[in-house]
Structure 1
């Protein structure tokens, strides 16, 4: 039976560090998944995530799918189902701006009697390396339901959203949050006013006994957010890490390690 590293970290109240996967491909996903034993989760952020879910599952981190549909779009329902049928350990839904939409996301993520998710894949339980009855018995409890707080409306209604039963994590997207509130995107840190909003979201999540997550672009940022009490923290992305590593190694090759 494979493990659910993200869920284990959250239940133990330990910071769960993850990475963002933006490029498709089985070998690419598996390489990222095996890059560090300290990686608790990987967010898969592109259409057609099934192959990547299977590649990540069993390698250590928990595969989380960020579905493409946003806002009030009715297409979130079938996209959530596709992600979970592929074996995702959780779904991340962007641009959720109301408690009503949050309740809809929960309903689509849970089997009856809690929700309305339909059972339709003969392969999902195999991805988790358990039997079908075991999957049906544990899925409602073990699948993490996450919504992104990144709009003006979401900030205004964050207390209501946080209190929706079945929502496990409020995930802050600093870039869209900044833009939607009329501020420039982080460079690399958010504007001081956006930072105040971020701390408000963190407090509301914890008051509602929910976890709070945030997207960071570096280990230094992630360390700071962990110290602030964030529960789930993105550290880097596949493209970001690859570009930075190539630039760093070339710089050392050309100028030596003492001359960054």
Structure 2
């Protein structure tokens, strides 16, 4: 089976650092995937990024997995529909049928929705995912029978905790069998609780809630992830015990590098 760098980091209890991909294109995705040997995952953002599920995310998944011959970062997909929508099921199916190593569902706030997401990610008898994609197994580097017997155990199922109801139910959501990662979205979490977005760090009251989510995840023997926007911020979160950390985004890194080099050039 093809390398699953994120899952390998989880199994080794190592911090998995990643990057947010907010715009499409095969060569763009490939460049990001090849940017650093420290990259465990690349998340293709179909919620707020300008990447459609089909064919945009599907092409990015293939490009990322083909970028590093001996095993590159795991391609993940954040679906557009939130956990308060009835549209998550078919969007999860599209992402997984494209060969994604995992899916992230935004704004999950109830146990019922968490269980539904798990069911949509797993083949029977453990779930209700349908089979039919001619592409998924090849992207994983296995045969169809091998994919059917290994996908349930290898696909990472991630839900975002980013509103008041999700925080209220966080212990119960963390306890749902099949949920692998609680992912903290500090921007929407702050806004939903009536605070300003992080700049760059969240309000102290929001920080207390972030730590509560971290404790709930680890208390249920699950992984906890958080979105950061810089390397220094990511290093701090790693020391706090976060298992999966977004370090930067494609657009953020591009703008930062252009600004830095131009500033040096005009001195």
Give the TM-score category using the shorter length. over 0.9
Following TM superposition, the consecutive aligned residue runs of length 4 or more in structure 1 with deviations greater than 4 angstroms are none
User: Are positions 1:166 and 2:178 aligned together?
Assistant: yes
Give the corresponding residue for 1:55.
63
What is the rounded CA distance, in whole Å, between the counterparts of 1:182 and 1:170 in structure 2? 21
Partner of 1:4: 4
Aligned ranges 1:85-234 → 2 under 5 Å? 85-234=97-246
Q: CA deviation at 1:73?
A: 1.1
**Superimposed CA distance per residue, residues 142-194 of structure 1 (whole angstroms, 9 cap, x where no aligned partner):** 00000000000000000000000000000000000000000000000000000
How does 1:225-244 map onto structure 2 within 5 Å?
225-244=237-256
Mapped partners of 1:199, 1:57: distance in 2: 33
CA offsets per residue over residues 72-119 of structure 1, 9 Å max, x none? Answer: 211100000000000000000000000100000000000001100000
CA distance in 1, matches of 2:196, 2:113: 27
User: What CA distance in whole angstroms lies between the structure 1 residues aligned with 2:219 and 2:8?
Assistant: 21
Q: Show structure 1 runs of 5+ residues with no match.
A: 256-260
Structure 2 unmatched ranges of 5 or more: 47-51
Partner of 1:258: none
**Count of residue correspondences:** 255
What TM-score comes out, normalization by structure 2 length? 0.94
Q: How many Å separate the matches in 1 of 2:173 and 2:25?
A: 34
TM score, norm. by length of structure 1: 0.97
Matched, 1:65 2:73: no
**Residue 249 (str. 1) matches residue 249 (str. 2):** no
CA RMSD, 1 decimal: 0.7
| Per-residue CA distance 1:227-259 (angstroms, 9 max, x = gap) | 00000000000000000000000111112xxxx
Deviation at 1:208, TM superposition (A): 0.3
Provide Cα deviations, 1:173-229, integer angstroms capped at 9, x if missing partner: 000000000000000000000000000000000000000000000000100000000
1:10 Cα offset (Å): 0.6
